[in-house]
Amino acid sequence: MKIYIASDHRGLELKENLKKNFNLIDLGTNSSKSVDYPIYAFKLAEKIAGTDNLGIAICGSGIGISIACNKVKGIRCAKVNTIKEAKYTRLDNDSNIIAISGEMSYQKAVRVVEEFINTKFSGLERHIKRIEEIKEYENK
């Protein structure tokens, strides 16, 4: 499994700091110059879709980049604010990308990413059923 990370300019500092703690494949941006987050969301989501890889998306709030990631078929991106949310988005939803705010503290972001990476999907039938319902709708 590979773990990819992408951000816009407002997530750049946090992205660079997270790379110090984790073995992440960086998809950009690599500049503090203003960029459009959808470009990086799509690059990230396309690397994740249809694989067992995971992704971390960062923009100013985490909201816009999560919306863009979820436009790519096969992506279940959750905007998370807490360690608990990072745990349950993997455990219950088998999310393959998390989106976080570039304003999240570095220490908290490390704990959130650790939880996301280390939590495995529960595989419980009720959760599988719900994910399949999402996939069916996505294929309409």
The ranges assigned to domains in the chain are 3-138
Sequence-distant (≥ 6) Cβ neighbours of residue 94 within 8 angstroms: 76, 121, 127, 131
Burial of 46 (0-12, 13-18, 19+ CB in 10 A): middle
Specify the pTM.
Answer: 0.96
> Which CATH number describes the domain made up of 3-138?
3.40.1400.10
Q: Give residue-wise pLDDT tens across range 87-99.
A: 999 999 999 999 9
Q: How confident is the model at residue 18 (pLDDT cuts 50, 70, 90)?
A: very high
Q: Which pLDDT belongs to residue 120? A: 98
Q: Which of 115, 84, 89 is nearest to 22 (CA)?
A: 115
